[in-house]
Structure 1
């Protein structure tokens, strides 16, 4: 008899399922020896019951199991009483547990239920006295639709007194833009740019702008990025330069002029490298004459300019291909 063939994706799913369930089974008390079959009893899913399981599970060494419990609570949230869930969240002061409960509340709003569930999480992220709890609730909003449902929350969070909270908010903005909106939502990109500009923490601003996909930003946001080129922080100037490299076609000419004008006066080598990259990204092969004119401004960066010129003259039509070609060129040197 021929053995049935299981595709690798099925095997992987089975392995993952068993891996997630085995710690849960390990927590259960073994059944007492009995000659009679156990009687099945109807049970109900409660907030307290789930929270007790999660509290015990937090002591597990298995990260997969901890993620399983978080997913279990989030998926169960739609069937739990909102009042009980929200009350449990509001009286919880352990950051890890609060994050689990916050994620469950957010899941209710994400599933089309009460908008006030997510608002309760946003309120605590902004107002709780404990910065660890604020940071935990911010994490619970990650990779969700919170960006478009919470008004100016992120502009306020990036000005939080806690560096941890500020950076968690910055990470949310980057990941939401990429994983929720695919980098192609103008409102999401503009919200991130506005928050970056509102921040007075250079690390936060640079974290957002250095990783943000800006292909859909508005003309107003593009102007904001150009203004950030004048920041006192080299880290911010480099990140703003990088962000300008991806702006929409309608904003490209202005971005190129701003970057070209800035290069000659800039003194930080890292910022200059970011400017060169964005000039290349904005112009592709048409940027070659501009790069040649900049070559003598900083002799130490002449090899960097030459590398961009060599790659752009290959006439590749995709930015990711250009980046890989330049990386290979540098590795070969």
Structure 2
């Protein structure tokens, strides 16, 4: 038996217990009477929702997560039309998120291919930003990024900062935990959404830790365009993202970073530019970094630390980063 099938059995066991009304046992004096039989109830959307509403009063985050997992597991066998209707009626953001997660689970397991679109539509159109935010969260760490077209570009233009940040978090976590940075279309979608945003904080959140080693050529050009943003926060995050692009884009990315460094005045952005140049070239970046030292004497210690780290000959970027940090912290 697989771990998932075992979980489903335990989840349904809990659900069956929760939904079965217990009949009092007969007393000793009634020994001759026939023993009553436990009467089960058919699992239903309203019944399960009632159980979850009561359970959400619990102060245990673990129990609340369990309830959400329970609903996702039950979703595949619940009547799809009833589940969708319940979701569309629900106005409480917490319950809307649970029901949205159940619909997403149906879509993920191909029980209902249209369910994901129902969730995406409400994420875009509901009048309550709290419900829109909750619905966006329900799609996190799923395949929604590939199944919903330009959803994330549209979400990044939402009037609510909360919705925009939830969408940005989805893009970051989907790329990291669902695709492990190894699916080019997912990375390209994240870059397109970042560029569509007029919210510098949301854009920076997407790009600041994005793995771009599978980035496409068009998306790489979009990143280079973001280096010209009015926001220093966006320029900084774009510089960091460009440091990890594939080999075929390294040449143009390096030229863009060096060109911006010469005219950049923000120290934080300059540090990100130097890091991007170092990551693109490893030891071969040392001559370029040495030439850049004269532009801003205040950056010399930062550049020297990078040069020393690169000259160790380490061949893994994470090790180079760690060595550079150690050199800066050394007395």
TM-score, reference length from structure 1: 0.90
Per the alignment, do residues 298 and 33 of structure 1 end up closer, same or farther by CA in structure 2, a change over 3 Å counting?
farther
Counterparts of 1:190 and 1:28 in 2: how far apart (Å)?
50
Contact 2:20–2:38 under 8 Å retained in 1: no
Report the aligned-residue RMSD: 2.4
- CA offset at residue 301 of structure 1? 1.6
Q: Which runs of 5+ in 2 are unaligned?
A: 4-9
Number of aligned pairs? 316
Could you tell me which of 237, 246, 249 is aligned with 1:248?
A: 246
* 1:156-211 CA-partner distances (Å, limit 9, x unpaired): 00000000001111111111111111101111111111111111111111111112
Counterparts of 1:134 and 1:63 in 2: how far apart (Å)?
22
Give the equivalent residue in structure 2 for 1:14: none
Give the equivalent residue in structure 2 for 1:185: 183
- CA offset at residue 258 of structure 1? 0.7
Q: Which moved more, 1:308-317 or 1:35-44?
A: 35-44
SS of the aligned residue for 2:91 comes to coil
Give the equivalent residue in structure 2 for 1:209: 207
SS of the aligned residue for 1:129 comes to coil
Give the equivalent residue in structure 1 for 2:293: 295
Give the equivalent residue in structure 2 for 1:230: 228
Q: Which runs of 5+ in 1 are unaligned?
A: 1-9, 11-16
SS of the aligned residue for 2:163 comes to helix
Counterparts of 1:105 and 1:273 in 2: how far apart (Å)?
44
Give the equivalent residue in structure 2 for 1:64: 62
Give the equivalent residue in structure 2 for 1:173: 171
Per the alignment, do residues 34 and 281 of structure 1 end up closer, same or farther by CA in structure 2, a change over 3 Å counting?
farther
SS of the aligned residue for 1:93 comes to coil
Per the alignment, do residues 28 and 263 of structure 1 end up closer, same or farther by CA in structure 2, a change over 3 Å counting?
farther
Give the equivalent residue in structure 1 for 2:258: 260
TM-score, reference length from structure 2: 0.90
Give the equivalent residue in structure 1 for 2:219: 221
How do 1:1-333 residues align onto structure 2 when only pairs under 5 Å count?
Answer: 35=27, 39-333=37-331
Counterparts of 2:160 and 2:112 in 1: how far apart (Å)?
30
Counterparts of 2:18 and 2:138 in 1: how far apart (Å)?
28
Counterparts of 2:129 and 2:178 in 1: how far apart (Å)?
26
Q: Which moved more, 1:109-118 or 1:69-78?
A: 109-118
- CA offset at residue 34 of structure 1? 5.3
Contact 2:22–2:38 under 8 Å retained in 1: no
* 1:233-287 CA-partner distances (Å, limit 9, x unpaired): 0000000000000100000011001101111110000000000111110000001
- CA offset at residue 40 of structure 1? 3.1
Per the alignment, do residues 211 and 28 of structure 1 end up closer, same or farther by CA in structure 2, a change over 3 Å counting?
farther
